[in-house]
Amino acid sequence: LQASTIVLIGHGTGAYWASQYLAQLQPKDVGQLVVIDPRAPLQGEQPLESYLATLPAAIGDFYTGTGAAANQQALQRRNAARRAGHPDYRLVALPSLTGDRNTEQEQLVRRVRGWLERKPPQ
């Protein structure tokens, strides 16, 4: 049994490492990357947005817009992808839901699943 598309998911600094992995090794079998509240580690080689902008994989960038810094970083990632002409980059802001962790997790799962199930551009 073969998977039709392999999806790599990175959360927090895991999004940076997943992006770096895809940029450096360029595996042919990974078709989509989901990053959730992405951030670079303290000693990252390059800015996260420089990795994301150059990846051939479809990218779903999901972040919780809870502060000015998170919003600014999200805009930097989106703008870098636009400048690079990325064919399938999607930035999705997830609103904070009054501290109800279960509801927030359910919303995240629904949004990621919806992004994964959409028809990618040709």
Per-residue pLDDT reduced to its tens digit, 105-120:
888 999 999 999 886 6
Distances (CA, A) of 49 to 64, 65, 68, 103, 115: 17, 17, 17, 29, 20
The domains found in the chain, sorted by start residue, are 6-117 (3.40.50.1820)
- Look at phi and psi of residue 17 and say left if phi exceeds 0, alpha if psi is from -120 to 50, else beta: alpha
DSSP label of 5: -
- Model confidence at 4: pLDDT above 90: no
94 neighbors 62 (Cβ within 8 angstroms): yes
Mean pLDDT over residues 54-64, rounded?
92
- Model confidence at 2: pLDDT above 80: no
Region of poorest pLDDT, from 19-23, 30-34, 40-44: 40-44
By DSSP bridging, strand 58-64 and strand 89-94 are: parallel
- Model confidence at 3: pLDDT above 70: no
